[in-house]
Amino acid sequence: MKKLILTALILICNTLLLGQDNPLLSPYETPFNVPPFNRIKTEHFLPAFKEAILQQEKEIEKIVSNSAIPTFSNTIEALENSDILLSEIAAVFYNMLSANTSKELQELAQEIAPLISQHNDKILQNKKLFERIKYVYDRRSELNLPTEKKTLLEETYKRFIRGGAGLDEEKQKRLREINERLSILSLKFGSNLLAETNNFKLIIENKEDLAGLPENVIASAYETAQKNGFEGKWMFTLHNPSIMPFLQYADKRELREKILTAYMNRGNNNNEYDNKEIVAEIIKLRIEKANLLGYNTHSEFRLEETMAKAPENVYKLLDQLWIPSIKTAQKEAEDLQKLIDKENGNFKLQPWDWRYYTEKLRKEKYNLDEEQLKPYFELNRVKEGVFKVANILFGLTFKLRTDIPKYNEEVQTYEVLDSDGSHICIYYLDFHPRSNKRGGAWMSNYREQYIYKGKNITPIITNVFNFTRPTKDMPALLTFDEVETMFHEFGHALHGMLSKCQYKSISGTNVSLDFVELPSQIMENWATEPAVLEFYAKHYQTGEKIPDELLKKLDESSKFNQGFITTEYLAACYLDMAYHTLTNELTEDILTFEKNTMNKIGLINEILPRYRTTYFNHIFNSGYSSGYYSYIWSQVLDADAFEKFREDGIFNKTTAESFRKNILEKGGSEDPMVLYIRFRGKEPDIKPLLKRKGME
């Protein structure tokens, strides 16, 4: 007995000492309990993960060993609250891995991934724990639970079934092996892609090779070159703010071909960062996992938990959109070829020509040059425009805070307040590319909103972008696509900020993949409204509002190039579905499979899918497998939902309050279609989207 007490005391002392030395395991003692980024070091993560795993294991053991009859409170709710420490540590780590990574963090991720995978599987395959969950689930009709508790019970039961709780021991063992391997492969795919993106540098020595490029793009490339040790030269990279304007404006066709070829071959260079074998193994393991769990394909497994429900429904949506999209794209290709011929180009339109000649055609058709727009879209003014929309619609205000730790000096930190002045959340904004940040734009959180022991735990939200940096002579000026991206990601942020749920696993953006994009997609609509443009579209030098003439041109050109935009996106959706509706492992190499898939749908040679296989991060590293279609489904939802705002007024308080209460605050606490109909009064219609794209 004495020995047991002594052992327990030693364990307690060691835990206390560990907590004192490790900021991830101590009370944060920061404003609003944000992570103490200034104190967190790479070496803190592994011991913190191990301790958090140990603590959750103890909580699980308490649930399992409880002699009382299983109830919602002592089983479902207790399980829900068992991983609070682990989820917060994981949120810090994985956000850092995406937005502020290092070689050490990437190596550590390879070590942590199997630990987390093993831990999750151990919980999901705990027979005694599942017996208690099933006991409560089987009696759900007798419990008269309120909606959110009922949802949590159902989702918990399904999570265990889908995690292998009903399998025999041999199959559970194999499932654990698959999950562990998939977690490692996914990380490797992402780190390979980051390396490939960072490794390519287009160095230009002769100023003549910069012909056609706007001055601000040239200035940015010059500064990038100097920072990287290329004195007196210009450097272009595969990050979007660099490659996209190059493809759009550079007169040198061979250089456009060079940079786009590098972009589309990321992960396909037969080097240490090659992703082809990784993809093949991921596909094979996903099929095996689906089969173990009783599904024919990975898509069937994934889509069961979405609004689409089944692969055939996704294909039905894609096919509805593909026919008008490819028809429009073919007409656009013909128009671009005519322009090439008119200029005596003497060559056939290729993917590296599309953006360049589209920009020329835009000028010719609408007398609109994107460079005319950029001076009116200075980054900070756009940000203030976004904030003002949120203020008018939902009563939110954004207070800049300089006393809150942040993970990088470039990050801006805000406290978000409700209309009554109460605290809603802390909000981080990270705007510009870095070599230690993955590409793209996203929303995430460092803490979910939930209620614990009667107290509302407020969220910590982050938006991360890769917008062009300011230069010494010019502020950061955005393209209109980037403006829409800011509104889009802010919509996700609102979904996290305004959550009013009891349980973190179903709060905020914890909804089905094909519903999560509705709040983000609908926000893009306000970006183009004349009343909203007046807030933020002001010349960065003179402060003049964007001229009505430019707004008219912007509106007239809104349907321009929609065939290309929609077709390249849909092609990637078909590629995603093709991989994940396979019933057997690939019998052909990745590139052949991709080519055959594109040929099957009739993608024209002048257009590439938005993401080719070896850099399709969404489906191989970001949780969107069989779910990339969700963006277009959410466009159906958002186009239909915004019709309600158009009918009532885009700043109608009653409509905005309904959207907040029925969509943004509810998270995944109810069926998404129920929530949508409660807001809209009917099921969504595809016609508003086709109208918006000019494809009726």
Reference 280, options 611, 593, 624; nearest CA is 593
DSSP state of 66: -
Contact 80, 136 (CB under 8 A): no
Structure tokens at 404: 């809150």
Q: How far apart are CA 241 and CA 253, in angstroms?
A: 19
| Dihedral of alpha carbons 219, 220, 223, 224, sign | negative
Three-state DSSP class for residue 426: strand
Q: How far apart are CA 20 and CA 14, in angstroms?
A: 10
Q: How far is CA 54 from the centre of its chain?
A: 30
Nearest 5°: the CA angle 579, 580, 585 is 65
Contact 450, 91 (CB under 8 A): no
For 422, counting Cβ atoms within 10 Å of its Cβ (0-12 exposed, 13-18 middle, 19+ buried), the class is exposed
Q: How far apart are CA 298 and CA 302, in angstroms?
A: 6
Concatenated DSSP letters of 656-669: HHHHIIIIITTTTS
- Contacting residues for 103 by C-beta, under 8 A, at least 6 apart: none
Contact 263, 355 (CB under 8 A): no
Q: How far apart are CA 244 and CA 598, in angstroms?
A: 23
Q: What is the CA radius of gyration of the chain?
A: 26
Q: How far apart are CA 536 and CA 546, in angstroms?
A: 9
Three-state DSSP class for residue 388: helix
State the DSSP H helix or E strand holding residue 124, giving kind and residue range, or none if neither.
helix 103-124
How many C-beta atoms surround the C-beta of residue 451 within 10 A?
14
Three-state DSSP class for residue 369: coil
- Contacting residues for 195 by C-beta, under 8 A, at least 6 apart: 273
Contact 461, 493 (CB under 8 A): yes
Task: Identify the residue whose tokens are 């208690």.
Answer: 132
380-416 b/e with 16+ CB inside 10 Å = b? ebbbebbbbbbebbbebbbeebeebbbbeeebbbbbb
Which residue among 80, 180, 378, 489 is the active-site one? 489
Q: How far apart are CA 181 and CA 482, in angstroms?
A: 36
Asked if 489 is an active-site residue, the reply is: yes
Please identify every residue annotated as catalytic: 489
